[in-house]
Amino acid sequence: MADAKPSKPKAPTPFAFADASKAKAKSKAKSVDPSDDGHVPTPPPGRGRRWLRWACCGLAATGALAALVMLALSLTVLKVRDPTLTMDSATVRWFSVHFDAKAARPLRINVTLAGSLVVRNPNYESMRFGASDTEIFVDGVGGDGPVGVGRAPPGEVAARGASRVTVGLDVFVDRVGPAVVGEVLFGSGEVRLATRTAVDGRVSVLGGLYGRRTVRVAMRCRVVLHVSPAVVVAGNPACVADFGR
């Protein structure tokens, strides 16, 4: 019996062993850039400059807006203007006309007028004003003092509003009777009066936070009295601002 053909023994299958720690280190080494030195990468310099430009533009825009706001406030709220004053009517409350040819001053005309004063406030804040004084003269007669006086009470005007006050005017035309006696007795019976009124006020800007400003306004008016022994009638006053104050 023939012997079986000898066969070459099979080589043992090699044992595959994977070191987990080495594999992890190897994969980490592949993922890391060889040029990395361990520092966190910094953003490119262009991005920082861009943010700086944006910040400067924002500050410039904010400054320009603040300047525009201050300019608008200085032209409106913070700008204090003088009020305006006018007398829109004058009425006769009481009168007395007396003629005595033997007297040193033959003509005596005493009249009490009620003048309606209107104070207008152009400011964006309310205004307080004090009592106003009015002096009355015979128009066109120089060298003589006032023939009458008047006084109006103090008050307050709302922002961009108007206030009406009544001033009592006591007129004693007999003080300059000889100057007007001919016109009254032999002419049209007109006595022309000139008045001057001044009012002082104060405006608190932003409720007083920005200070208080003193304002002043004055005006001159002309009023015609139509005089007769039976009645005295006052015409409509014509007023203009008195810039000379």
How many Å apart are CA 83 and CA 130, to the nearest integer?
Answer: 13
Look up residue 82 and give its two tokens.
Answer: 């003088």
pLDDT value for 75: 52
Across 108-131, b (16+ Cβ under 10 Å) vs e yields bbbbbbbbbbbbebbbbbbbebee
Closest Cα partner for 169 from 232, 244, 90, 58?
90
Q: What are phi and psi of 178, to 5 degrees?
A: -60, -25
Q: Spell out the domain ranges in the chain.
A: 50-79, 84-241
* pLDDT band, very low/low/confident/very high, at 45 (cuts 50, 70, 90): low
Residues 6+ apart with CB under 8 A from 131: 151, 152, 153, 154
Percentage, residues of the chain above pLDDT 70: 67
pLDDT tens by residue, 121-166: 988 888 999 998 999 998 877 666 788 999 999 999 998 899 999 9
Nearest to 111 by CA among 89, 96, 90: 96
Please give the single-letter amino acid code of residue 33: D
Q: Each residue of 80-136: pLDDT tens digit?
A: 888 899 999 999 999 988 877 787 777 788 899 999 999 999 888 889 999 989 999
Alpha helix segments (H runs only) across the chain? 20-31, 45-75, 177-186
Gap between the Cα atoms of 225 and 136, Å rounded: 13
Q: What is the mean pLDDT of the chain?
A: 77
Per the model's pLDDT, the better-predicted residue between 6 and 164 turns out to be: 164
Beta carbons of 192 and 224 less than 8 angstroms apart: yes
Question: Within 100-203, where are the H helices?
Answer: 177-186
Nearest to 239 by CA among 225, 214, 222, 218: 222
- 0.85 cut: is pTM over it? no
Percent of the chain with pLDDT over 90: 29
Collapsed DSSP state (helix, strand, coil) of residue 174: helix
User: Domain spanning 84-241 has what CATH number?
Assistant: 2.60.40
Residue 27, pLDDT > 80, answer no
d(CA 55, CA 53) in angstroms, rounded, equals 5
User: Which of 70-74, 145-149, 169-173, 218-222 is least confident?
Assistant: 70-74
Identify which has the larger pLDDT, 14 or 152: 152
Cα-to-chain-centroid distance, residue 8: 117
